């Protein structure tokens, strides 16, 4: 069974016919397939992530950052994963600003060492405030998360009254969503976009008619997402969710927002030249025009195609780059560092740690 997992990713051997028949998998009893999961004696002492193969820690960017000496904190966006929301719609929020406020609150929670405190609730004076800490806080965002990270920085320094306040010590954007022109690859799509944004504004919760539920069997990327994410959402998005990326890319570049981005904040963008989801023109414009006065903003552009910068296959290439950049800006982190795991972390069953975020209605 372990041999099959290592080579094929599932427990049973794939059967291939020499007579050009479709490649199929021999069917076996579910009782036989999953019997080992209930034989508790054989699982004693094992890591739950190694038992439930739809989640993984080993060889991921999370493990790599841990081994560099960094603690890694993350959270579910509203209506994503385990997170609750104001409506029953998945991957949907009333406003894009909800994401930004949630991120501001999350950074505040981490800086105040309240990560395990389920009583935390939204408070403007706490979320948008400078909390002193002797640790270096690096904000990392991937794809849409990179856009949110930049917007959170802009929002913090716009609202904060203390000119010496510090939000984070550095920002890393991986395949950051700053330009989504690849989705407007036809002239009629460019014409339809403003009309679709208008309809999304009037009827945000309706399902998008131009998107079909993903068939995970047709594309390897979709299959990989479904196979590794136990809560992967494969249905159609709402109109608002489909149109949010376009407005988010415009707003993050507006001068009235970019002027609040600190010119002395170490910033690294890593992008692939032929990204079929988020065009590299976005990070280029951000670094070369919007942050041109900054001497610590940098774009690393790799030749190739693809968007999944945090995929396991790219970790061996990405992590040395991150380590070099981090050591260059934060010299105190150089040298041998132990594996970083907070002392309060216990391998208990998964529970919802933070649900009282902005605009989140508890069940």
- pLDDT exceeds cutoff 60 at 338: no
Rounded to whole angstroms, the Cα distance separating 210 from 223 reads 21
% of the chain surpassing 70 pLDDT: 70
Domain boundaries, given as residue ranges, for the chain: 2-44, 61-333
The overall average pLDDT reported for the chain is: 78
Most confident listed range (96-100, 131-135, 224-228, 281-285): 281-285
* 86 vs 2 pLDDT, higher one: 86
Read off the pLDDT of residues 153-169 as tens digits, 9 standing for 90 and up: 999 999 987 778 889 99
Quick check: helix, strand or coil at residue 36?
helix
- Please count the other Cβ atoms lying within 10 Å of the Cβ belonging to residue 290: 20
Q: Rounded mean pLDDT of 124-129?
A: 77
Structure tokens, 157: 């320094």
What pLDDT does residue 134 have?
A: 81
DSSP character string of 57-111:
-TTSHHHHHHHTT------PPTTSTT---SSS-TT--S-HHHHHHHHHHHHHHHH
What pLDDT does residue 118 have?
A: 78
* 15 vs 168 pLDDT, higher one: 168
Query: What's the angle, vertex CA 225, arms to CA 220 and CA 226, rounded to 5?
Result: 100
What pLDDT does residue 319 have?
A: 93
- pLDDT exceeds cutoff 80 at 193: yes
Rounded to whole angstroms, the Cα distance separating 160 from 164 reads 10
**Contact present, 85 and 93 (Cβ < 8 Å):** yes
What pLDDT does residue 352 have?
A: 37
Rounded to whole angstroms, the Cα distance separating 270 from 25 reads 39
Tell me which residue of 232, 229, 285, 290 sits closest to 265, measured CA to CA. Answer: 290
DSSP character string of 210-232:
T-----TTT-HHHHHHHHH-TT-
**Contact present, 133 and 165 (Cβ < 8 Å):** no
Query: What's the angle, vertex CA 301, arms to CA 273 and CA 241, rounded to 5?
Result: 60
CATH superfamily of 61-333: Alpha/Beta hydrolase fold, catalytic domain (3.40.50.1820)
What pLDDT does residue 13 have?
A: 47
Query: What's the angle, vertex CA 222, arms to CA 216 and CA 228, rounded to 5?
Result: 105
Radius of gyration of the chain, Cα coordinates, nearest whole angstrom = 22
User: Phi and psi for 191 in degrees, rounded to 5?
Assistant: -70, -40
Confidence band (pLDDT; 50, 70, 90) for 362? very low
What pLDDT does residue 132 have?
A: 79
- pLDDT exceeds cutoff 70 at 295: yes
Rounded to whole angstroms, the Cα distance separating 300 from 175 reads 11
Read off the pLDDT of residues 214-270 as tens digits, 9 standing for 90 and up: 555 556 566 666 666 666 676 778 888 888 999 999 999 999 999 999 999 999 999
Read off the pLDDT of residues 54-83 as tens digits, 9 standing for 90 and up: 567 788 899 999 988 899 998 888 888 777
Q: Rounded mean pLDDT of 15-44?
A: 56
What pLDDT does residue 10 have?
A: 52
% of the chain surpassing 90 pLDDT: 34
- pLDDT exceeds cutoff 70 at 316: yes
**Contact present, 92 and 207 (Cβ < 8 Å):** no
Structure tokens, 220: 């390897």
Q: Rounded mean pLDDT of 318-341?
A: 76
- pLDDT exceeds cutoff 80 at 35: no
What pLDDT does residue 152 have?
A: 95
- Please count the other Cβ atoms lying within 10 Å of the Cβ belonging to residue 19: 4
What pLDDT does residue 351 have?
A: 39
What pLDDT does residue 251 have?
A: 95
């Amino acid at each position: 069974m372990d041999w099959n997992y290592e080579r094929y990713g599932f427990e049973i051997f794939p059967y291939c016919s020499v007579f050009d028949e479709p490649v199929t998998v021999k069917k076996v009893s579910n009782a036989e397939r999953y019997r080992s999961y209930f034989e508790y004696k054989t699982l004693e002492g094992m890591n739950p992530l190694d038992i439930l193969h739809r989640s993984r820690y080993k060889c991921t960017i999370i493990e790599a950052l841990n081994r560099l000496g960094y603690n890694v904190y993350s959270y579910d966006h509203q209506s994503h994963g385990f997170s609750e929301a104001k409506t029953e719609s998945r991957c949907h929020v009333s406003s894009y600003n909800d994401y930004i406020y949630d991120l501001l609150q999350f950074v505040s929670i981490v800086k105040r060492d309240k990560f395990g405190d389920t009583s935390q609730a939204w408070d403007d004076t706490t979320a948008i405030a400078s909390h002193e800490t002797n640790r270096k806080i690096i904000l990392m965002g991937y794809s849409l998360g990179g856009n949110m990270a930049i917007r959170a920085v802009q929002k913090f320094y716009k609202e904060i009254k203390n000119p010496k306040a510090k939000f984070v010590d550095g920002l890393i954007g991986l395949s950051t969503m700053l330009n989504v022109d690849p989705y407007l690859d036809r002239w009629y799509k460019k014409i339809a976009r403003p009309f679709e944004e208008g309809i999304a504004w009037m009827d945000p919760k309706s399902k998008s008619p131009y998107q079909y539920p993903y068939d995970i069997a047709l594309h390897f990327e979709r299959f990989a997402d479904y196979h590794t994410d136990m809560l992967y959402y494969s249905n159609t998005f709402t109109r608002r969710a489909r149109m949010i990326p376009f407005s988010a890319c415009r707003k993050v570049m507006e001068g009235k927002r970019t002027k609040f981005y600190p010119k002395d904040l170490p910033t690294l963008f890593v992008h692939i030249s032929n990204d079929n989801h988020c065009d590299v023109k976005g990070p280029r414009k951000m670094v070369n025009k919007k942050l041109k006065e900054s001497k610590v903003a940098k774009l690393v552009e790799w030749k190739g195609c693809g968007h999944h910068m945090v995929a396991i296959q790219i970790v061996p290439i990405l992590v040395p780059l991150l380590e070099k950049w981090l050591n260059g800006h934060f010299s105190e982190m150089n040298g041998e560092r132990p594996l970083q795991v907070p002392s309060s972390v216990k391998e208990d069953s998964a529970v919802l740690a933070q649900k009282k975020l902005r605009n989140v209605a508890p069940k």
